[in-house]
Amino acid sequence: MGIIVRILINTIALVMAAWIIPGIHLTNDIWGILIVATVFGLVNVLIKPIVKLLSLPLIFLTLGLFALLINTAMLSFTAWVSQHMSIDGFGPALMGAMVISVVSAILNVFVRD
């Protein structure tokens, strides 16, 4: 049940980012959006920890701001892998990463582990 809730949180966060940020485009197909949310979740679970571990000195040096660039890269990688999502450039990816982080943090408050 927990993984379904996480995918739904990712789905809501991605839809909010696509709705707020003009440069992020999602397909209108609900199954395509769920696929993008699943891919985004897998990227965050499998690839992001490795990248964060390798860039730990930069994260410390920048007082955590480099983690925002890692989130941006993970969102861009998700768009690159998925055919149901596209991002117009670095600016929309950065803003989308911030929106997704905030929406996910807010929604995770209401979910128990």
* pTM confidence score: 0.91
Segment 41-95, tens digit of pLDDT? 999 999 999 999 999 999 999 999 999 999 999 999 999 999 999 999 999 999 9
User: What are the phi and psi torsion angles at 100 (to 5°)?
Assistant: -65, -40
* Residue 40 Ramachandran class (φ > 0 left, ψ -120 to 50 alpha, else beta): alpha
List the domain boundaries for the chain: 2-109
No. of H helices and E strands in the chain?
A: 6, 2
Find out whether 75 and 97 touch, Cβ atoms under 8 Å.
yes
Segment 4-55, tens digit of pLDDT? 888 999 999 999 999 999 999 999 899 999 999 999 999 999 999 999 999 9
